[in-house]
Amino acid sequence: MEKVFRNYNENSVKAAVREHYKKMRQKQTVAYVAEMKQKYLTFDKPMMLWEALSHLDDLIDVSDPDLDLPNVQHLIQSAEAIRKDKRADWMQLVGLIHDLGKIMFLWGTDMDGTSQKEQWGMVGDVFVVGCALPDSCVYPEFNHLNPDMSDKRYNSTLGKYEKGCGLDNLELAWGHDEYLYRVLKHHPENKIPEEGMAMIRYHSFYPWHTGHSYTALLKEEDKKYLSWIRDFNKYDLYTKSDRTYELEKLKDYYLPIAEKYLGKGPIYW
C-alpha cells in the first residue's frame, strides 16, 4: 500500500501531535512572536554547521505524524533525494539544513515552547499572526483558542496588515523556519540564492503553500515563492522513510557544498 503523508485523522495520529497543535494555537500570538524574536535573534552563539547538524540527532519532531526518527535523518533523507534528482548543489544544501533552526532547543525553554519537551514554539505548520486564522490550518477547531482571535485588531481577514502587503511583510508563528532564515540572513558569508532562502523561510507555511489561504494579503511577486516552495516540498514531505544514514559518512560530499555557500567559519545563532 502506498504511504499516506500528513494524515491527522483522530485514530491514526498520536495524541501528542494533536496536543502540540492545540498548544501552538493557544500560545502563538502577536505578542509572543515579538517576544521570541527579541529573545532568540541575538546571533551571539557561534557554532559550526556540522556540529549544529549533529545536535539534531538528539531531537525528534513531535509535530510530525510521519516520522519518529531523529531530525537529522529527515534532513539527510531530503538532501539525498534532491541529490539523486541531480538538482542544483545549493538546493541539496537547503535540503540538508532546512530544519536546522530546531537547534534552538539547545538554549530553549519549556515556557517558550522551544525545548525537547515543549516544541510548540519551534516546529509544526505555521500561520500568520495578527489576522484571522483560516480553516486550512491543521485542527481548525483549535483556532478559536488563540487569544488574538478575540482581539478586534487581529481577528479580521486583514487584521494588522494592509491588503496585498506581500508574504515578506507577514509575521508568521515563531519557529525553526524564521529562526534559520534570520540566522543565515545575518551571516555575512551566506551565498544561498533567493530561492533557497525562501524555501527555508516558508516551508512550514502549509495554510498558504498547500491551503491557498491569505490571498488578500499576497501580491503578484509571491507567486514565484509558491512555485519554489512547492518544488521543495516534494523533498521535505515525500522522502520520509525508515531508511537511516550516518551523518559522518556524508561529510565528504556535503561539507564542500556548505563551505561554498556559507564559508568555513562558524555560524552565529
Q: How many binding residues for Fe ion (CB under 5 A)? A: 2
35 close to 173: Cβ distance less than 8 angstroms: no
Does residue number 236 form part of the binding site for Fe ion (CB under 5 A)?
yes
Does residue number 64 form part of the binding site for Fe ion (CB under 5 A)?
no
Angle (CA) 146-99-262 rounded to 5° is 130
**For Fe ion, the closer CB: 36 or 132:** 36
- Closest residue by Cα to residue 36 from 100, 133, 154, 122: 122
Closest CB 90 distance from Fe ion, rounded Å: 17
Q: Please, how many CA atoms are within 13 Å of residue 200, restricted to the half-sphere of its CB?
A: 27
Of the ranges 26-34, 153-161, 230-238, 247-255, which one interacts with Fe ion (CB under 5 A)?
Answer: 230-238
Closest CB 102 distance from Fe ion, rounded Å: 8
Closest CB 57 distance from Fe ion, rounded Å: 15
Q: What is the CA radius of gyration of the chain?
A: 18
**For Fe ion, the closer CB: 99 or 112:** 99
**For Fe ion, the closer CB: 222 or 236:** 236
Closest CB 99 distance from Fe ion, rounded Å: 4
Transcribe 94-123 into DSSP letters: HHHHTTGGGGGGGT--TTTT-SSS--TTTS
Does residue number 178 form part of the binding site for Fe ion (CB under 5 A)?
no
**For Fe ion, the closer CB: 79 or 258:** 79
For 1-83, list the strands marked E by DSSP. 46-47
- Closest residue by Cα to residue 243 from 76, 92, 63, 96: 76
Closest CB 203 distance from Fe ion, rounded Å: 5
- Closest residue by Cα to residue 49 from 234, 192, 172, 232: 192
Closest CB 119 distance from Fe ion, rounded Å: 12
Of the ranges 111-119, 155-163, 229-237, 252-260, which one interacts with Fe ion (CB under 5 A)?
Answer: 229-237
Q: Which 65-104 residues touch Fe ion, going by CB under 5 A?
A: 99
Chain residues that interact with Fe ion, rule: CB under 5 A: 99, 236
